Copies of this chain bind each other. A is one copy, B any other.
Amino acid sequence: MAGIREQKKAETRQAITVAAVALFSTKGYEKTSIEDIARAAKIGKATIYTYFSTKDEIFMSYCDDELEDSFAQFRTPQFVEGQLIDHLLKFFMIKFRFVTKNHEFGRQLLREMVFPKTINEKVKEHDKRYFDILENIFRSAQKRGELAGQLDMFHTTVHFYSLYLGALAGWYTGYVDSVEEVEAALRILFSQAIEGVGV
Contact = CB atoms under 8 A, between A and B. Distances in A.
A117 interface: yes
A183 to B, nearest CB: 13
B199 A196 contact: no
B189 A158 contact: yes
Interface string A54-71: 000000000000000000
Nearest to A104: B117
A145 B165 CA distance: 30
Contacts of A197: 147-148, 151, 156, 159, 193-194, 196
A198 B115 contact: no
A158 B173 contact: no
B107 A173 contact: no
Nearest to A177: B119
A197 B162 CA distance: 15
A146 interface: yes
A166 B158 contact: yes
A115 B110 contact: yes
Nearest to A109: B115
A44 interface: no
Contact of A124 (B107, B161, B173, B192): B173
Contacts of A147: 197-199
A150 to B, nearest CB: 11
Interface string A103-130: 0000100110111110110011001000
Report, nearest first, the 5 A-B pairs whose CB atoms are least far apart.
A196-B196, A162-B166, A119-B174, A194-B198, A195-B196
